[in-house]
Amino acid sequence: MEFHELTERGMVQMQTKSPELTESVTVQGRTESPELTERDMVQRQTESPELTESITVQMQTESSELTERGMVEFLEIDRKELNMPYADTANPDPELTDMWHLNGVMKYPHNIEEAWALGYTGKGITVGVIDTLMQTNHIDLTNMDESSSYDYYNDDDDPNPPDSTMYHGTSVAGIIGATKGNNYCAVGVAYNATLIAIGLLGLSGGNILTDSQQAMALSHMYDTIDIYCNSYGPTGSYSSSSLGSFRQAAYKNNANYGRQGKGNIYVFAAGNGGSIATPNTKSHHTTIYTIGIQSVGYDYVVRYGEIGSSILASAYGGSVFDRSLTSTSTNSGCRDGLRGTSFAAPIAVGIIALALEANNDLTWRDVQHLIVRTSKPYGFKDHYDIENKWQRTGAGLRVHHKMGFGLMNAEAMVKMAIKWKTVPEQLTWQSKVSSPNMTLEERSKAKSKIDVSRDDCPIRHLEHVMATVSFNYSCCRGAVEVYLVSPSGTKVVLLPKRYNDASFTYTESGTFTWTYKVVHLWGENPLGKWKVLLKLNSMIASGRLNDYIQNDTVNDNVTGGSNDYIQNDSVNDNFTGELLIKMVIFRMILLTTTSQTVQYLKIIYP
C-alpha cells in the first residue's frame, strides 16, 4: 500500500499493488476544499465490485494547517483488532510509597535522578498517553493538557473514565509525569513534561478496535506530540495481528512529518505473556517506527516477560516476588501494587523525554540509536528460561532475547543526546526472488547458500532487519520455532514455541506467513552467510518453510548498490515424517545518492 503525502490541495492517494490479493482495491481521495477543519470528518466508502455493501468510516485529521471540511473516499475494509491493557493480574503488594525505580536504590539503577541533576526534567516535551480512559484533572497530574485530550473510543472530547475501576491509563500517565514536590502519591520520570490523554480503550478488559480508530489515536496532534506511550496490545501466545493500511500509512506519514519533520516516537509495552508468547506477532511491533520495551524485576527478567527480536530495551515494571510500582489512580487517588510491561513502557517514555529535552533535534531514528548505545546489559538473570542468556553480537554489543540491549539509562542517554549528531538520510535496499525446493528427512538439515563478496555488497552496518517466513503445518502451529542467524553468528528468535497456539491448532492445518522485525543485529555487518533455522517440537506431522525474505536498514559509509546473500538452514528435531522446505532468496537493491555523507538504508516492505 503506497501512501502519498497531502499536497497543497489535500490530494491523498493509496493504492494496493499486489495482484495476489483477492480484496485488492484502488484508493483515491480528494478534498473538496483547499483546507480541512482541525478535526475534519472524512468519509471513506468502499466501491469494490466484490463488496455488496458500502462501508463508511469517519476519520479526523489533526493538522492545525487544515482548516475547512473536506471529503476523502477510500475503497478499503477497516480491520478490527482485540486490544487490552498489559497490567499484571496478580493481587497488589502491601503499601509501597518509595519511588525505588527513581532513587537509585536498586542494584542496577536507571540513573534518573542523575539526569535530573543535569537539569533535565522533561520540560518542553509533550507526551501523548494512548491508553484506557483516564482522569485528566487528577491533582497529581498538574501538567495534563485537558483541552488537547480526546476520547477515540467514544469519539468525543472527554477522555475521563466512567468509574473508578478504570485506573490503567491514569496510572501510566503518572509514571511518566506525576507532579514533583507536592507531597502526594508519586513522581513522574519526566515530571515537567506536558501530558495529553488519548483515550482508546473504553473497557478495562478486551477492546475491539478498528484499524482506522487506532490510526487516528496514533496521529492525534502529531505535529505537537513528541512521544506516544502505548501500554496495550493484542495477545501474542496464540494469535497474530497485522497492521492495516490505515496504521501503516499513519506510521509512515508521522515518521516523515511528525514533530516538524523529525518524526514521532512510538513506545510500546512488549506484553505479559511470558516465554511462550512474543511481541513479534503483534501488529505494532512489526514496523520499524516503534520501540518495544520489556519489563525486569530487581535483578532478573520477570516471569511475564515475552521473548522476541523486536524488543529494543528494558525498564523496571515491578514483580509479584519483590517490588511493585506506585502511581496515580482514578478519583485523584494513589495506587500501589502496579506491575507489568504496562508500567515499564512509561518509564522508557519518561527517559526518552529527558533525552529530547537535552536535544530536541533528535529524529525517531536518532532515539533508537541512543537507546541501543546507552542501555546497560547488566547481570539480569532469566530464572524462568535458563536458555536465554546474554550474547555478544558481531557489532560488539550485548543483547538478550527478552531484554533487548539492556536496562535503559537516563543519565547516559541524556549525555549522549547532548552531543549527538543527527543520522543522515536513509537509502533503500530491496530484494529479488529466487525459490529452490528441498526435502528434509528426520533429523537432517538442508542448506541453500549464496556468497556475495565485499565488492558486490557495499553495506556495512545494520539497523533493522525484516524477515518474512512462511510454513505449512498439519497441526499444532505453536510447536514451530523460527530463528535467524547472522553472518557474525548472532542467533535471534523470530518465533518461539507457543503452547496455547499449539493447543488451539491441534486439529488444524494451514499456512503461517509472517514478517518479523529484528533489532538485535543493530550495527552488524550483513556480509557473509545468513541462516534461517526452522525447529519443530513434537506432535508436528509435516512442516514446510515456504518463503524467506530479508530486508535490511543499514548505516553505511559507502554509496552504491548491489546484492546481499542469505543462507537458509532448517533443523528438524523430535520429528517423524517428512519436512518440505522451500526457500525464497532475495537480492537487495541499494538506491544511491550523490551525497558524500554517511548513508542509511531504508526498509521497503515486500
Residues carrying an active site annotation = 131, 168, 342
3-state secondary structure of 519: coil
Terminal-residue alpha carbon distance, the chain: 10
Residue 104 CA, distance from chain mean position: 28
**Cβ–Cβ under 8 Å, residues 543 and 482:** no
Closest CA relative to residue 408, chosen from 511, 289, 294:
294
Q: Under 8 Å CB-to-CB from 554, ≥6 apart: which residues?
A: 429, 459, 460, 461, 462, 463, 526, 600, 601
DSSP 8-state secondary structure symbol assigned to residue 95: P
Helix (H) or strand (E) holding 130: strand 126-132
For residue 246, the number of C-alpha atoms closer than 13 Å in the C-beta half-sphere is 26
Calpha distance 63→67 (Å, rounded): 9
Query: Hey, how many other C-beta atoms are within 10 angstroms of the C-beta on 318?
Result: 30
**Cβ–Cβ under 8 Å, residues 134 and 328:** no
Calpha distance 45→72 (Å, rounded): 9
**Cβ–Cβ under 8 Å, residues 301 and 381:** yes
**Cβ–Cβ under 8 Å, residues 446 and 438:** yes
3-state secondary structure of 246: helix
Residue 209 CA, distance from chain mean position: 17
Calpha distance 288→582 (Å, rounded): 27
CB contact burial 194-215 (16+ within 10 A = b; e otherwise): bbbbbbbbbebeebebbbbbbb
Positive/negative CA dihedral, 480, 486, 487, 489? negative
Cell numbers at 276, concatenated = 511462550
Q: Under 8 Å CB-to-CB from 154, ≥6 apart: which residues?
A: 199, 202
**Cβ–Cβ under 8 Å, residues 310 and 517:** yes
Closest CA relative to residue 62, chosen from 198, 161, 195, 170:
198
CB contact burial 485-498 (16+ within 10 A = b; e otherwise): bbbbebebbbbbbb
Cell numbers at 93, concatenated = 503488594
Cell numbers at 594, concatenated = 550523490
Strand (E) positions, 474-530? 480-485, 491-495, 510-518
Query: Hey, how many other C-beta atoms are within 10 angstroms of the C-beta on 504?
Result: 16
For residue 502, the number of C-alpha atoms closer than 13 Å in the C-beta half-sphere is 17
